[in-house]
């Protein structure tokens, strides 16, 4: 499938998920995307790692909304001598926001798994996004893994030297790690600019033209958009 078609369908699904007022659509999108990633034989350990942060964010949203939003009291708990009341409306609001987070993240994970990064950037350029934005995104994607490797090496060296033994020493090690990564990123930026200049870079990375969208891809966009819109109307309207 053409990356532009996948991008359009992903954005439509993403907007429907974010704008939904019921949990059925975001949870359905999350389940379908999760099944799709498993069908693609994505390692379950990798999926768990990538979904840990969104699940944590969803949990925090549910917790905060449960205490801060609504009027109907469900249960009162005492935390460190402070009485806090769990509110019914807040629980439902938190569940809705958490489901949106999981649904939106799963869409982007599935899209990134089925589309190579360079084709995504090419499609974004075809949609007339500013060329400078696309070039910066390409360089960020290229070097973020390099910097992650450096971060892991420095953290491992600190751990071997007992740099995380105790709270005070851990905070000091984290600060040193952040500073080292920042300095390394600045050095890498200078080296990358010099290398690009030596290779003829004059302010624009050349991109080849994308072919015209085929009739098959146009039908996929039309059919997929219709299915997503119908599902959104049915679920949001309470027919399902």
Domain ranges of the chain: 1-115+214-240, 118-209
Q: Closest Cα to residue 151, out of 183, 125, 110?
A: 183
pTM: predicted TM-score of the whole model, two decimal places: 0.79
Asked whether residue 82 carries a pLDDT value surpassing 80, the answer given is: no
Q: Does residue 230 or residue 83 have the better pLDDT?
A: 230
Share of the chain above pLDDT 90, in %: 24
Torsion sign (Cα): 175, 150, 206, 110: negative
Residue 222, judged by CB atoms within 10 A of its CB (0-12, 13-18, 19+), counts as: exposed
CB 7 within 8 A of CB 78: no
CA gap 28, 12 in Å, rounded: 15
Q: What is the mean pLDDT of the chain?
A: 87
**Distance, CA of 156 to CA of 149 (rounded, Å):** 11
User: Using CA atoms, how far apart are residues 198 and 185, in angstroms rounded to an integer?
Assistant: 20
CA distances from 177 to 35, 155, 156 (A): 37, 7, 11
User: What value does the mean pLDDT take over residues 46-55?
Assistant: 88
Q: Please say whether the dihedral angle defined by the alpha carbons of residues 133, 15, 2 and 32, taken in this order, is positive or negative.
A: positive
Q: Would the pLDDT of 224 be above 70?
A: yes
pLDDT in tens, 96-148: 999 999 999 999 999 988 988 888 888 888 888 888 888 888 888 888 888 88
Evaluate whether 101 touches 188 at the Cβ level (below 8 Å): no
- Say how far apart CA 158 and CA 164 lie, in whole Å: 7
């Amino acid at each position: 499938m053409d990356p532009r078609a996948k991008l359009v369908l992903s954005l439509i699904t993403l907007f429907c998920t974010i704008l939904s007022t019921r949990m059925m659509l975001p949870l359905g999108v999350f389940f379908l995307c999760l099944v799709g990633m498993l069908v693609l034989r994505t390692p379950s350990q990798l999926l768990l790692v990538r979904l840990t942060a969104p699940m944590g964010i969803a949990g925090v949203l549910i917790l905060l909304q449960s205490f801060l939003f609504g009027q109907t009291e469900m249960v009162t708990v005492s935390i460190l001598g402070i009485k806090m009341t769990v509110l019914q409306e807040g629980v439902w609001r938190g569940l809705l926001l958490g489901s949106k987070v999981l649904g939106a993240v799963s869409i982007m994970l599935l899209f990134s798994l089925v589309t190579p990064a360079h084709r995504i950037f090419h499609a974004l350029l075809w949609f007339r996004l500013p060329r400078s934005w696309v070039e910066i995104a390409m360089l960020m994607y290229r070097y973020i893994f390099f910097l992650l490797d450096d971060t892991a090496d420095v953290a491992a060296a600190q751990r071997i030297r007992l740099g995380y033994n105790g709270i005070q020493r851990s905070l000091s090690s984290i600060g040193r790690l952040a500073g080292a990564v920042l300095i390394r990123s600045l050095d890498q930026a200078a080296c990358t600019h010099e290398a690009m200049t030596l290779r003829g870079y004059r302010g624009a990375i050349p991109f080849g033209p994308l072919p015209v969208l085929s009739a098959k891809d146009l039908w996929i966009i039309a059919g997929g958009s219709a299915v997503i819109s119908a599902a959104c109307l049915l679920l949001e309207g309470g027919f399902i």
